[in-house]
Amino acid sequence: MTITTNRAGAFRVAFALIVALSLSVVLAQTSSAQGNSVVSGIVVGVQTDESGNLIQFALSDSSGQVTTFKLSAATKYGLENQAGDRWVSTQGEDASEAARRLRDHRERFAPITVSFENGIASSVVEREEGKLETNLGYLFTVFAITWALFFTYVLYMGRKQRVLQYEIAKLKGIIG
Amino acid sequence: MTNKILNLFDPILIFSAALMGVALYMIFIWAPTETNQGAVQRILYFHVPIAWGAMLGIFVVSGSSIMYLWKKEEKWDRLAVASAEVGVVFGGLMLLTGMIWARPVWSVWWTGEAKLTTALILFFIYVAYLMFRAYFPPGAQRQRLAAIIGVIGAVDTPIIYFAANLWAQAHPPIITGPVADSDSALGSDLGTVLLVATVAFSFLFVYLVQSRYKIRKSEDDLVELKRASSASVMTGAG
C-alpha cells in the first residue's frame, strides 16, 4: 500500500514537471522577432575562408529566429573581449580578427547588436541596449509555472491527507 | 489527528504569504529594469531563491540522514523524506526557471556548462533518492541505504555553488554569499529584492517540509494501526 502510494506520488510529480515544461515551450514560442534593420542576439555560426577571414555569420535573436548576415568591406565592428577591452575596426581592415572576436562571443554567449540593410551588416557591436520588450512572456511563464507547481503540490498533499484521515478513522472504528 | 496537517492559518504560512506579497511588489514594481536583459532579468528573483530552496533541501536531507544513521530515530528519516520531496519540487522549478531565462538571453534552452550540469545532477539525486525509497522494500535496511544516498548527495551542493567561478563558463558568476565577486555582485536595490524573495521562499520551504513531515507521520501511524488491526483480528479468531 505504501509503495503504491509513493509510486503514484512520484508519477504525479513527474507529470506536473512535464506539463510545466510543455507550457513554457508553448508560451515562450509566441514571442516574435521585430522586423526592423537592427537586431540583437547571440552568435550561433561563423564562416571563414581558407585564410581565416570572416565571410558571414549567423545570429539567433531573442525569439529563436536565426538570421545570416553577409559583410561588406565597410562593415564596422565594436566588440569587447571578456575583460571589457573594446576592439574597433572594419571588415576591410581586419576580417580575420572579426572572425576570432565573433567566435569568442559565440563561446561566451555574449549578445551583440547588428545593424543591416538588404542582408548585409553595416555595424556589429556589443549589445548596447537589450530591453527585450517582447520577452515579458518568459517572465509570465516563470511566474505561472512557479505558482502552478506549488499549488499542485499543496493539492497533492491535501488529497493525501484526506485519504489518510479516512483510512485512520476506519481502522480506529474497527479496533475500538 | 490529521486534520491540521495543511493548516492555512499556520503562522509560518501566513508570514511566508505576507513576505511573498512584499517580494512580488518589489520584483514587479519597485525594482528597476535591468538595462541589458530587460524584463527577463526579473526571473532571477524567482530562480535564485528557488535554487537556494533546492540546495537547502539537500542539506536538510543530508543532515537528517546523518542524524538517522547516528540516532536511529524515525523522526530524522521522516524529515529526510519530507525534505527530499519538497526539494524535488524546488529542484525542478530551479531547472525550469533557469531554462526559461536562458532562452531569450542565451538563445538556447540548455547548454552543457558546469553549473547547469551539476544542478541537473542535484535534481537526479533527489529523484534517485525518492525512487529508491518507493521501490525498495520497507524496513530498516531501506532507511539506512536511503540515508547513505542522502549524505552522498550533499557533495554536489558546494560544487554547484562554486561551479560558475571554478569553470567560468556561460552562467553568471556568484552574486551572493561569501565568495561573491564584488564587481558582479548585485547593487543594493536588486540585492534587497533578492534577499526578501529568498526569505519568503525559505519560509514557504519550511511550511511545505513541515506539512509533508506531518503527512509522513500519519502514514507511519496508519501502518501501526493496520498492524494493531491485524493483531486484534488474529486474537479474535484465536
**Domain containing residue A117: CATH number:** 2.40.50
A51 and A120 share a domain?
yes
At A44 the three-state DSSP class reads strand
The verdict on ipTM greater than 0.85 is: no
A61/B107 Cβ within 8 A: yes
Tens digit of each residue's pLDDT (9 = 90 or more) over A72-101 = 888 989 888 776 677 888 898 889 999 998
Q: State the pLDDT confidence band at A136, using cuts at 50, 70 and 90.
A: confident
> CA of A39, closest CA in chain B: separation in Å?
13
Task: Name which of A49-58, B51-60, B152-161, B178-187 the model is least confident about.
Answer: B178-187
Find the CB nearest B104 among A17, A132, A160. A132
Q: Is a pLDDT exceeding 50 seen at residue A26?
A: no
Statement to judge: residues A92 and A148 lie in one domain:
no
For residues A117 and A140, state if they share a domain: no
Q: How far A86 CA sits from the closest chain B CA (Å)? A: 17
φ, ψ of residue A88 to 5 degrees: the values are: -120, 125
- Could you read off the pLDDT of B141-189 as tens digits, one per residue? 888 999 998 898 888 778 777 766 666 555 666 655 555 555 544 556 7
Residue of A nearest to B5 (CA): A161
Task: Report the C-alpha gap between B98 and B42 in whole angstroms.
Answer: 12
pLDDT in tens, B18-42: 999 999 999 888 888 776 677 888 8
Residue B87 binned pLDDT confidence (cut-offs 50, 70, 90): very high
The alpha-helical segments, DSSP class H, found in chain B are 11-25, 44-71, 74-106, 114-135, 140-153, 156-167, 188-237
- Tell me which amino acid residue A139 is: L
Beta-carbon separation of A153 and B208 below 8 A? yes
Distance (Å) from the C-alpha of residue B229 to the closest C-alpha of chain A? 6
pLDDT score recorded for residue B64: 94
Query: Is B85 a residue whose pLDDT tops 90?
Result: yes
> By CA distance, what is B137's nearest residue in A?
A3
pLDDT value at residue B182:
53
- Return phi, psi of residue A112, to 5°: -130, 165
pLDDT band at A7 (very low <50, low <70, confident <90, very high): low
Give the structural domain span for A64.
Answer: 36-126
- For residues A41 and A67, membership in a common domain is answered with yes
**Do A89 and A46 sit in the same domain of this protein?**
yes
Nearest to B26 by CA among B8, B49, B10: B49
Domain segments of chain B as ranges: 44-224
Nearest residue on chain A to B219, judged by CA atoms? A164
Pairwise CB contact (< 8 Å): B107 & A109: yes
Last residue of a domain, one of A102, A126, A150: A126
Same domain, A42 and A86: yes
pLDDT at res. B173 = 60
Angle at A11 between CA A5 and CA A17, to 5 degrees: 140
Same domain, A64 and A145: no
Residues of A whose CB is below 8 A from B107: 41-42, 44, 60-62, 64, 109
Residue in chain A nearest B103 by alpha carbon? A62
Q: Higher model confidence: residue B120 or residue B7?
A: B120
Mean pLDDT of chain B: 83
For residue B136, pLDDT over 60 is answered with yes
Percent of chain B with pLDDT over 90: 37
Q: Tell me which H or E stretch contains A46.
A: strand A38-48
- Chain A CB contacts of B8 below 8 Å: none
Q: Is the pLDDT of residue B112 over 80?
A: no
Question: A67 or B207: which carries more pLDDT confidence?
Answer: B207
Angle at B132 between CA B126 and CA B134, to 5 degrees: 105
Mark yes or no for CB contact B40/A135 under 8 Å. yes
User: Residue A45 pLDDT > 80, yes or no?
Assistant: yes
**How many domains are there within chain A?**
2
Q: Contact A145/B35, CB-based, under 8 Å? A: no
Average pLDDT, chain A: 77
Candidate from B3, B35, B225 with C-beta closest to A172: B225
Please identify which residue in the block is written with the cell numbers 543594493: B188
User: Tens of pLDDT along B218-231?
Assistant: 988 888 888 877 77
CA-based nearest distance A152→chain B, Å: 10
Do A61 and A120 belong to one domain? yes
Q: What is the helix (H) or strand (E) element at residue A38, kind and residue range? A: strand A38-48
Residues A3 and B61: their CA atoms lie apart, in Å, by 20
| Same domain? A92 vs A105 | yes
Indicate whether A156 and A115 sit together in one domain: no
- Are B130 and A171 inside 8 Å of each other by CB? no
Both A163 and A122 in a single domain?
A: no
**Residue finishing a domain among A86, A103, A126:** A126
Residue B153 vs residues A2, A70, B125: alpha-carbon distances, Å:
24, 50, 6
* pTM of structure: 0.70
Asked whether residue A94 falls in the same domain as residue A66, the answer is yes
CB contact under 8 A, A142 and B97: yes
Is the pLDDT assigned to residue A12 strictly greater than 50? yes
Chain A environment of B229 (Cβ under 8 Å): 171, 174-175
